[in-house]
Copies of this chain bind each other. A is one copy, B any other.
Amino acid sequence: MTESPPIRFGVIGCAEIARKVSRAISLSPNASLHAVGSRSLEKAKAFAIANGFPEGAKVYASYEEVLDDPNVDAVYMPLPTSLHVRWAVSAAKKGKHVLLEKPVALSALEFDEIVEACESSGVQLMDGTMWMHHPRTAAIKEFLSDTQRFGQLKSIHTIFTFGADPDFLENDIRVKPDLDALGSLGDEGWYCVRAILFANNYELPKTVLASREPVLNKAGVILSCGASLFWEDGRVATLYCSFLSNLTMDITAVGTKGTLHVHDFIIPYEEKKASFYAASESGFDDLVTRWGSEPSKHVIENDLPQEALMVSEFSRLVAEIKFNKSKPEKKWPTISRKTQLILDAVKASIDRGFEPIQIKE
């Protein structure tokens, strides 16, 4: 990494998740907290004080002012999904790099507007899928890519659920049709879809089919749903997401020669290390009364929490553009778009009475 000055962040909106990411910006050696904007100046001030913004940090009573601050290099955008197009496009047009919370948009079509604006302005776009940046994720990838230990992927099963409290189910933006209209699918299903695509080297499935009996609230927002994804060669994937069940974060991937289990893939049990279980060529003793060997536990340590690693990687790309005239890294918006495309298909399948949806890139 070059010894360039840190990338200066403006935080747009004071959502809960912004606390965690502000800390991550502080922890990240190549990033700094420069400004925060809220529709309320009081709220912005209180947020800056509570979240370790430095003395000279700017506090604004609007999102516009953050975008107009010439010293802001990049914005972190934890706004409700329905506001993403407007504010991400504005940010890009003003030359700000964009770290965008997930789901990135309400549809892939909408997301394309953001991508276009970022490409036109030559700014980096990355979504806030933190677990992608944990070193465990790279270790898992290594296992899944190992033709000897894992073989070919045959099926992957993912779950992300948590038990929302009554206040959440009544008032959170994630149950409001005008804010995060994709509900549990957008908030939780996003991670499941990403894990599925990650394990499939981002090869899109041929067909997506939503499960019957999703749970919707009165406003029609998804509180719980599932889906199956199918590839032409017989690979299958399932996802299940819900606001109505105990916290669960599972990846189970089964290959011809190996099996992967991860139980905390989105947020590891601990901040400074994370594990996964890998089994290879599992079998039984002669009488089939016990296994020949148990899956092995792999522990990966990380010096910085995964959200700080995300900020660091984003800032590294931004610094490359700012100081070394590099082009933005297209990998990140590309996988954001594929993830969104599958969410769109699950939603469409539900809306059309559980019809299978063919995926076209």
Is residue A335 within 8 Å, beta carbon to beta carbon, of the partner chain?
no
Is residue A94 within 8 Å, beta carbon to beta carbon, of the partner chain?
no
Query: Quick one: given A163-B256, A246-B259, are A155 and B279 in contact (CB under 8 Å)?
Result: no
Is residue A211 within 8 Å, beta carbon to beta carbon, of the partner chain?
yes
CB pair B242 A356 closer than 8 Å = no
* Bound CA–CA A228/B261 (angstroms): 21
Q: What's the least CB distance linking A279 to chain B, in Å?
A: 7
Tell me the number of copies of this protein: 2
A267 partner residues in chain B, CB cutoff 8 A: 284, 288-291
* Bound CA–CA A231/B215 (angstroms): 12
Contact with B along A259-279 (1 / 0, CB 8 A): 101011001111100000101
Is residue A93 within 8 Å, beta carbon to beta carbon, of the partner chain?
no
Across the interface, A269 reaches (CB within 8 A) one of B209, B213, B294, namely B294
Across the interface, A263 reaches (CB within 8 A) one of B17, B280, B295, namely B295
Stretch at the interface among A55-63, A74-82, A232-240, A313-321: A232-240
A259 partner residues in chain B, CB cutoff 8 A: 245-248
Across the interface, A289 reaches (CB within 8 A) one of B20, B154, B289, B291, namely B20
Is residue A281 within 8 Å, beta carbon to beta carbon, of the partner chain?
yes
Is residue A252 within 8 Å, beta carbon to beta carbon, of the partner chain?
yes
Across the interface, A238 reaches (CB within 8 A) one of B238, B255, B290, namely B238
CB pair A246 B212 closer than 8 Å = no
Q: What's the least CB distance linking A350 to chain B, in Å?
A: 14
Is residue A151 within 8 Å, beta carbon to beta carbon, of the partner chain?
yes
A271 partner residues in chain B, CB cutoff 8 A: 289-290
Query: Quick one: given A211-B230, A248-B252, are A155 and B289 in contact (CB under 8 Å)?
Result: no
CB pair B212 A212 closer than 8 Å = no
Q: What's the least CB distance linking A174 to chain B, in Å?
A: 14
Is residue A305 within 8 Å, beta carbon to beta carbon, of the partner chain?
yes
Apart from A151-B246, A157-B240, A248-B254: 12 A-B pairs, beta carbons within 8 A: A154-B245, A157-B159, A157-B238, A163-B281, A226-B236, A246-B254, A246-B256, A246-B258, A246-B281, A246-B282, A263-B295, A267-B289
